[in-house]
Copies of this chain bind each other. A is one copy, B any other.
Amino acid sequence: MVNVAILGFGTVGSGVADVLTMNRDLIRQRAGSEVALKYILDVRQFPDSPYKDCFVNDFSTIENDPEVDIVVETIGGATVALDFTRRALNAGKSVVSSNKELVATHGYELLQLAAEKGVSYLFEASVGGGIPVLRPLTNCLAGNELSEVRGILNGTTNYILTRMIRAGLSFEQALKEAQDNGYAERDPSADIEGHDACRKICILAALAFGRHVYPDWVPTQGITAITLADVDYANSCGYKIKLLGRALKMDGGKVCAYVAPHLVSSDNPLAGVEDVFNAIAATGNAVGDVMFYGRGAGKLPTASAVVGDVVDIAKDVTAPKRNQWAAGDADMVQSPDRLTFRWYVRANGTMDAARSAVGDITPLARGGAPASEVAFLTETMTQEDLNRKLAGMDVLSAIRVLG
């Protein structure tokens, strides 16, 4: 018998309770022993919940119960969640988390602590919701030197962009629709400004390249400045605008990570990832390109990933899972300013002025454009070069093109 305590009975926490219950027999078979829900920690009362007998409101009940083997942390944030995670690990309990903020900011410390205590700290659900990605990246691709991990890491922004592309909604209209459908928070800034994707690319970079990468080191741009004009121009040349997180291993072992919108070619499988779906692609020196696709958020999909980790630990609670990375160091991070791209540019001016400023360009057209507007694709250059060339122009948008 393996006993589980869930911290936080929100969307994900209640989903974990539901999955452990509805798939109980299968989970017992696969884990090789009964996986029982013993406690749920929440400050609120749930008198009508089917799990009402599990609720406690003092973490020390869980911390001090030697029967609890696995603590599921679905509180979110990096304050209470950090404290409880440290205490659970110190008490010799394995911890499974869906909390990307905590992993991205304190993952190194918590993995060290778990290793010291001979327990596991797993967080498959922190990236890509239900999509298996962290374990495949670290286990199945263990024979590869990875050169890049990239992905559509945030379902809210992908939904908004899909609705702009497919239904011609403005950013504001699409955001409103996403909020009405429960795909976006009342305060959507963590999603639309790219911070959520930033935390996820930090975790992916740490697993792929073996060093902690902190969110502060990752230049992050969201989708608030994307207009329907940009969507139309992108469409006219066979591209879709997607918010990507990317982490690349550079020559000399440095890591370059950033979050920004990109024009993605329709031939690229990432371009076909629509609505709230996520996809994470990786490039290895043996496997080439692989991609993982599925629901990147939601109650049951995220709970699926949490329960996958729980089962993995429950198979043998005495055998901690190796899942380490080294300390981060700001010196190992390289700015994306030195990467080269083709760029999509929209500006006020004439095509002649654009040509004399930027050199060879591919002009783009859209119906209903004001006479003062030009848009074009540049040749390959760094952001610094582009900025210098565009210095004299009234630039409305400049977006990287994924080659």
Interface set of A (CB-CB < 8 Å, partner B)? 15, 19-20, 22-23, 26-27, 29-32, 124, 130-132, 135-136, 138-145, 210, 269, 272-273, 284-295, 298, 300-301, 303-308, 310-312, 315-316, 319, 322
Contacts and interface: CB of A to CB of B under 8 A. Distances in A.
A120 B307 CA distance: 24
Nearest to A129: B287
A188 to B, nearest CB: 23
Nearest to A311: B142
Contacts of A305: 140, 287
27 contacts: A23-B145, A23-B286, A27-B143, A29-B210, A30-B142, A130-B287, A132-B140, A132-B290, A135-B135, A135-B136, A140-B305, A142-B311, A143-B307, A143-B308, A269-B272, A269-B273, A286-B300, A286-B301, A287-B295, A287-B300, A287-B305, A288-B300, A290-B292, A290-B293, A291-B294, A292-B293, A316-B319
- Count of chain copies: 2
Nearest to A266: B272
A13 to B, nearest CB: 14
B284 A304 contact: yes
A308 B32 contact: no
Nearest to A137: B132
B130 A307 contact: no
Given A293-B269, A293-B290, A295-B288, A19 B143 contact: yes
Contacts of A273: 269
Contacts of A142: 27, 30-31, 307-308, 311-312
A215 B124 CA distance: 34
Contacts of A32: 322
A243 to B, nearest CB: 19
A292 B287 CA distance: 13
A70 to B, nearest CB: 13
A320 to B, nearest CB: 11
A312 B130 contact: no
B304 A287 contact: yes
Given A145-B23, A307-B143, A287 B293 contact: no
A296 to B, nearest CB: 11
A310 B143 contact: yes
Contacts of A141: 132, 304, 308
A23 B124 contact: no
Contacts of A130: 286-288, 290
Contact of A311 (B143, B298, B304): B143
A284 B142 CA distance: 26
Given A136-B292, A141-B304, A269-B293, 15 more contacts: A15-B286, A20-B143, A23-B144, A26-B144, A30-B138, A31-B142, A130-B288, A132-B290, A135-B136, A139-B308, A141-B308, A143-B304, A269-B269, A290-B294, A291-B292
A306 B287 CA distance: 11
A346 to B, nearest CB: 28
Contacts of A131: 287, 290
A292 B315 CA distance: 25
Contacts of A291: 291-294
Nearest to A27: B143
B27 A285 contact: no
A37 to B, nearest CB: 13
A124 B143 contact: no
Contacts of A23: 143-145, 285-286
A114 to B, nearest CB: 16
By Cβ-Cβ distance, the 4 closest A-B pairs, closest first, are A143-B307, A132-B140, A290-B294, A132-B136
Contact of A145 (B26, B135, B140): B26
A140 B144 contact: no
